[in-house]
Amino acid sequence: MAKALSLVILFSLLCKFTVGTGRATDLSAAINATAPAAAPFALSLRDDEDGGICDLLVTNQGYICEEHTVTTSDGYILSLQRIPVGISGGITPGKRTPVLLQHGVLMDGMTWLLLPPNQSLAFVLADNGYDVWIANSRGTKYSRGHVSLTTDDKDYWNWSWDELVNYDLPATVGYVHNQTGEKLHYIGHSQGTLIALASLSKGLLMDKLRSATLLCPIAYLGQMTSFLARVGVDLFIAKDLYWLDFKEFNPKGIDVANLLHNICNVPGVDCGDLMTAITGQNCCLQSSTVDLFLKYEPQPTSTKNMIHFAQMARRGTLAMYDYDDEYENMNHYGQPSPPEYTMTTIPDDFPLFFSYGGTDTLSDKSDVRILLDVLKGRDDSNGKFMTQYVNNYAHADYVMADAAKEEVYDLVLTFLKLH
């Protein structure tokens, strides 16, 4: 357990904290250090954040937006947002193919709405004739409900991404399928790609999905080169037991703030450019987009989820959560070690599109190529297996770069139209 927990720090940093670094430069300035200045686009930022995502970021752009909820079979109440038509209306909502967007760890559905409407993937899809649905994983701001637990209960946080595979994803996909009567396209970023790959490897949801688009795909993490992640491994092994006391992992909390403060005081660590140190050198972020990100993100997750990612990074494997106790593993899995997710069991003819960046140090190109090598030999006729490599893109570019539409999303649209 100690070895696994030492990598928890990586994911606390993954989505750019909103706390001070303990130095003269605060986080917003640190992240913006390399982001070019730009005139803010026309988006009303509200001081009160009690409204849902539709109210905050969609309807004020002139789009129709609906708030939905779905309850998982283990009792979590998740929010979804629907953009049924584009800005110009067009085809009636019932005739449009649904697309489900799934965010990464420590983020929520706002991931897809951070850029101007002509550049944000959610709006681009709606304007191109798709019925857009935005998912929000358990524990994030608008998905903190439960039928019997509150977020103050430790049991509320007793989950990792295994539960997102087994409960959240089936609930959201099933809900969209039932509401629309149509099979849907799936698009995920980071953790959103991981849960899709794991689900597909188990043969789940195949009757409800048309395709999967995976941006910054995560399956293997053993080659990850994020500098601050490796510093965290060396620095925080002795604090593992301390972290076990905290079931909710909140990037805005004082405990994570203190942890980041300690890391930033390690000789050789430059917290003046956190974005690059964490995600790799993003090429194309505007300061206005980063400011919008910092207004709404990052989001909480469970400490157990972070431990699970840590296990992946230390071991280079893709397996279910390891309780580091043979008895507990037997109790949960019927075997002394956790079962692995086998990528080769993903049906050969299921359409997949992968896009990954050359400077991404989280979804490192070496790890992605391990995944692609495992999947080699798949049926690539009629665009069923497509890959894209963007040499100068890092992790955040895929959802925040000002040229993401031209560099990535236009090819995503081409892929979707084939299926």
- Any bridge partners for residue 335, and if so which? none
Q: CA gyration radius for the chain?
A: 20
Copy the structure tokens of residue 251.
Answer: 């990037």
- Following DSSP, what letter does each residue of 263-280 receive, concatenated? HHTSTT--GGGHHHHHH-
Residue 261's alpha-carbon distances to 105, 106, 127, 256, in angstroms, are 22, 19, 43, 8
What is Dmax (Cα atoms) for the chain?
A: 59
What is the DSSP secondary-structure string of 212-270? EEEES--S--TT---HHHHHHHHHSGGGHHHHHT-SEE-TTSHHHHHHHHHHHTSTT--
Active site residue 189: no
- Residue with tokens 């640190």, as numbered in its chain: 30
Is 337 designated active site? Answer: no
Which one of 137, 143, 190, 199 is the catalytic residue?
190
Query: 168, 395, 402, 419: which is the annotated catalytic residue?
Result: 395
Type and span of the H or E element at 185: strand 184-189
- Which two three-digit tokens encode residue 126? 């709606």
Please name the residues in contact with 66: beta carbons below 8 A apart, sequence gap of 6 or more. Answer: 54, 81, 82, 84
Q: Which of 162, 168, 322, 360 is catalytic?
A: 360
Mark 79-94 as b/e (b = at least 16 C-beta within 10 Å).
bbbbbbbbeeeeeebe
Q: Residue 286 has what DSSP assignment?
A: -
Look up residue 396 and give its two tokens. Answer: 């955040």
Output the six-digit token pair for 277: 């140190």
Q: For this structure, is 395 an active site residue?
A: yes
Reference 215, options 73, 47, 102, 375; nearest CA is 102
Q: What distance in Å separates the CA atoms of residue 89 and residue 87, rounded to the nearest whole number?
A: 6
Q: What angle do CA 129, 130, 133 make, to 5 degrees?
A: 150
Supply the residues annotated as catalytic: 190, 360, 395
